[in-house]
Amino acid sequence: MAYRTDDIMRDVVMTTRAALQRNFADLPFPACLDETGAQNVIDRMSRVLDGWIYEPLDGFDGDEGAYIRLLCGMQDDDLASSPLPHGIFTAGTDDERDCAAVNGRDHVRFAVSRPGWQPEETFLRITGLDDLTSGEYEIAFDEKLGYLTAAPADLGTAFRMSADLFLPALEGDGRLAKVMPQLGRLGLSMRPAYGVGMSVYTLSTQTTMGQSEQESLKKLSDITTQLCGLERSARSGLLSDDPDIIADRSLRALAILRSALIIPADEYRRLWRDARSAVFYGCCDIDYSVIDSAACFCENELLGVQAEGLTDDRSHDKARAKAVRELLSAADEEDNN
Say which CATH topology domain 13-235 has.
Creatine Kinase; Chain A, domain 2 (3.30.590)
What pLDDT is recorded for position 204?
Answer: 96
At residue 239, the pLDDT reads: 78
Whether 99 contacts 90, CB under 8 Å: yes
For the chain, the domains span: 13-235, 243-336
53-56 and 159-166 as β-strands: parallel, antiparallel, unpaired? unpaired
All residue ranges of the chain with pLDDT < 70 are 1-5, 59-82, 301-302, 304-310, 335-337
- In eight-state DSSP terms, residue 140 is P
Running DSSP on this structure, what letter comes out for residue 138?
A: P
- Residue 201 pLDDT: 97
State residue 127's pLDDT score.
96
Is the Cβ–Cβ distance between 113 and 16 less than 8 Å?
Answer: yes
The CA-CA-CA angle for residues 320, 323, 328, to 5°, reads: 125
Could you report the per-residue pLDDT of 193-232, keeping only the tens digit for each?
988 899 999 999 999 998 999 999 999 999 999 999 999 9
Query: Which pLDDT score is estimated for 136?
Result: 97
- Supply the pLDDT for residue 172: 93
